[in-house]
Structures are given as C-alpha cells and as structure tokens.
Amino acid sequence: MSRTGSHDQLPTVAEVCAHEAQVLALSITRFIAAGYMTQDVACWDAACQCAEEVLGPAHAPRLVAALIGVMRALRTERKQPWPFMPATCCRVTRDEISLLRALGQAQGADRVTLANLARVLTGGGAAPLLTDALQVAAEVLESIRPLLAGTPSSRPAAPSTLH
C-alpha cells in the first residue's frame, strides 16, 4: 500500500471482518502475500506460526494450506498486482474486502454469486481456480470457528502510526 494513499480513509479490520476466523484468515493471507512479494520464506513461516498460536498444530496447517491455495489462484488468474496491508495493520484494502466478501459467500450454496465475486477479484474473466480455492478455504474457516469462540480477540490493536 502506498504511503501517499489515504490510509485513514480505509475501513478497519473490525468494521470489515464478520468473525474472528476472518480476522485470522486475513492476517495469514497477508503473510502469504508478503512471502510472494519478497520471496522470503520467513513470511510463510510467520503465517504458519500465526495460525499455530491460535489454532494449535493440529488445525493450523489446513488453514494455511487453504489460504495458500487462494493466493496461488489469485496470482494465476488476477490481471493486476494484489494490494494488501501488513499482517498486523488495522486497515483493510478494497481488494482485501472483496476477498473477505468472497470467502463469506463461498460458505453458501450460491456458486453463481461466488463466481461473480471471483471475477471481481481477478479483474474479469472466468476464475475457476479461485472459485474452487475460495470454497475450500471457506470450509476450513467454518470448521475452525468453534475453536476461536473462546480465544482472546486476534483483531489488531488501535491504529499504529507505523503504517
């Protein structure tokens, strides 16, 4: 995200995420995207560690793998760069909002709406890889929601002046 952009006009994670599973998914996706951008495995390791701290070693790998699938599909089918915020940022880009909306829709049975949301995410055209990856990720997110019910909030703290 550009520092010249209007950071304060972007919505917050608390305003956009419907539940803690989405907050966790957003953070992990941001780590994965940073890994692709920097070509540094430490970012992917951070994604795994983030998931393991919240879900434990039994459930974390499934979520990370599902979100890697989403990011790989985006990289394959998207026509422009993927703008994202740092993993702990309290603000959310428009593209991240579209991703969260698509993940929420993927939990439903309306595959046509999901395909349309996937087209928006990719910039147009059919996006069968992304549609399938979103459905897999949504299933994993739904399965971990009960695990997050008793955990402290993983939502980013008050806005920071660092980004």
Q: What is the pLDDT of residue 6?
A: 57
Q: Is 6 among the domain residues?
A: no
pTM of the full predicted structure? 0.84
Residue 8 lies in a domain: no
Q: What is the pLDDT of residue 159?
A: 39
- Evaluate whether residue 86 is within a structural domain: yes
26 within a domain of the structure (yes/no): yes
pLDDT of residue 2: 40
- CB under 8 Å to 125, separation ≥6 — which residues? 77, 79, 119
Q: Does residue 9 belong to any structural domain of this protein?
A: no
What's the total number of domains in the chain? 1
Encode the chain (163 residues) as per-residue pLDDT tens digits: 344 455 568 999 999 998 899 999 999 999 999 999 999 999 999 999 999 999 999 999 999 999 999 999 999 999 888 899 999 899 999 999 999 999 999 987 788 999 999 999 999 888 999 999 999 999 999 999 898 876 555 444 443 333 3
Is residue 3 assigned to a domain? no
Domain that holds residue 127: 17-148
Q: What is the pLDDT of residue 18?
A: 87
The C-alpha atoms of residue 104 and residue 33 are separated, in whole angstroms, by 20
Give a yes or no: residue 58 inside a domain: yes
Would you say residue 161 lies in a domain? Answer: no
Q: 111-143 in b/e burial notation, b at 16+ Cβ within 10 A?
A: eeebbebbbebbeeeebebbbbbbbbbbebbee
